[in-house]
């Protein structure tokens, strides 16, 4: 199937590793021009790696998605470099693990900024450019915690639901602007973020890493965690013109771990 992404411009935030990087790589493989951002120097390394592998143009931008001025700068830089913007993938680092009792109010505020306001700001600044595209799409990256709260993840369980509400609302409000808005709810996908969560669990349970990973795998009907590439394949399809009538969908990519019927 031709995803019709050749020459399209995609911005993927928080993409120096993990799900964001895998998604940027897959856009590049499909012939899109890609801008990526993160806070550290790993972003230039990621861009060089993707360029070498795919031959696509990749723009690396240092930016912190919790900062409004950084968001404005990366949207402008992407449009200046590539002449427009067709696709926005709003990704950010995950909020810290912890229970309600572990989590102080300051951490709630920084996590709200990281998880919800980053998406709001990215979409606000991207919208005027997406309105000019004939293939405009926004994808928010959320989590299966929005369907089924995970233990020790009160911030993700709570704040990501607001991103789902935003996504669904925008799929209705921006439909008349021909901007499609969807979300992917990843389940366990093996990235550095997952390593951090496993480490936090070990600190609580005293189990070995192998035992913690085995217990996660056992909870997934497919018996394993997903790979970032498996996530990226779905993300890139959803954002592509090949999915041109898919709007307002909250799609689990989770190996079947979510128990609910809908």
Query: Which residue ranges make up the site for ligand NAP (CB under 6 A)?
Result: 14-20, 37-40, 42, 63-66, 91-94, 114, 141, 143, 186, 188-189, 191-194
CB of 177 to ligand NAP, least distance (A): 26
Cβ closer to ligand NAP: 117 or 242?
117
Measure the CA–CA gap between 92 and 114, rounded to whole angstroms. Answer: 7
CB of 143 to ligand NAP, least distance (A): 4
Cβ proximity of 138 and 170 under 8 Å: yes
Helix locations, the chain, DSSP H: 18-29, 42-54, 68-82, 105-112, 118-130, 154-173, 192-205, 209-219, 228-239
CB of 42 to ligand NAP, least distance (A): 5
Cβ closer to ligand NAP: 18 or 123?
18
Residue 60's H or E segment, with its range, is strand 58-62
Cβ closer to ligand NAP: 11 or 14?
14
CB of 16 to ligand NAP, least distance (A): 4
Write down the residue that tokens 């890139």 correspond to.
236
Cβ closer to ligand NAP: 193 or 224?
193
CB of 186 to ligand NAP, least distance (A): 4
Cβ closer to ligand NAP: 93 or 181?
93
CB of 178 to ligand NAP, least distance (A): 27
Cβ closer to ligand NAP: 10 or 19?
19
CA dihedral 118, 251, 139, 188 (to 10 degrees): 60
CA atoms 189, 168, 161, 123: torsion sign: positive
Query: What distance separates the 2 farthest-apart alpha carbons in the chain?
Result: 54
By DSSP bridging, strand 87-90 and strand 58-62 are: unpaired
Measure the CA–CA gap between 171 and 11, rounded to whole angstroms. Answer: 19
Tokens of 41: 């120097």
Which positions ≥6 away from 187 have C-beta within 8 Å? 144, 220, 225, 226, 252, 253, 254, 255, 257, 258
Cβ closer to ligand NAP: 110 or 169?
110
CB of 236 to ligand NAP, least distance (A): 15
């Amino acid at each position: 199937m031709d995803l019709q992404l050749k020459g399209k411009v995609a911005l993927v935030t928080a993409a120096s590793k993990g799900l964001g990087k895998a998604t940027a790589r897959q856009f590049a493989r499909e012939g899109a021009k890609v801008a990526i951002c993160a806070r550290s120097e790993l972003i230039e390394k990621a861009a060089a790696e993707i360029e070498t592998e795919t031959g696509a143009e990749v723009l690396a931008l240092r930016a912190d998605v919790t900062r409004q001025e950084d968001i404005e700068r990366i949207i402008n830089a992407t449009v200046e470099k590539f002449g427009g913007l067709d696709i926005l993938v709003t990704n950010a680092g995950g909020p810290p693990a912890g229970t309600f009792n572990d989590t102080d109010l300051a951490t709630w505020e920084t996590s709200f900024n990281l998880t919800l306001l980053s998406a709001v700001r990215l979409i606000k600044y991207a919208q005027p450019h997406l309105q000019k595209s004939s293939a405009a799409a926004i994808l928010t990256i959320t989590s299966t915690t929005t369907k089924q709260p995970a233990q020790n993840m009160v911030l993700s369980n709570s704040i990501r639901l607001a991103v789902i509400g935003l996504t669904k609302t925008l799929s209705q409000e921006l439909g008349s602007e021909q901007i499609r808005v969807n979300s992917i709810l990843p389940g366990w996908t093996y990235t550095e973020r997952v390593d951090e969560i496993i480490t936090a669990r070990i600190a609580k349970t005293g189990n070995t890493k192998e035992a913690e990973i085995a217990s996660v795998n056992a909870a997934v009907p497919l018996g394993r965690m997903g790979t970032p590439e498996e996530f990226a394949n779905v993300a890139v399809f959803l954002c592509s013109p090949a999915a041109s009538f898919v709007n307002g969908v909250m799609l689990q990519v989770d190996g079947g771990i979510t128990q609910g019927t809908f």
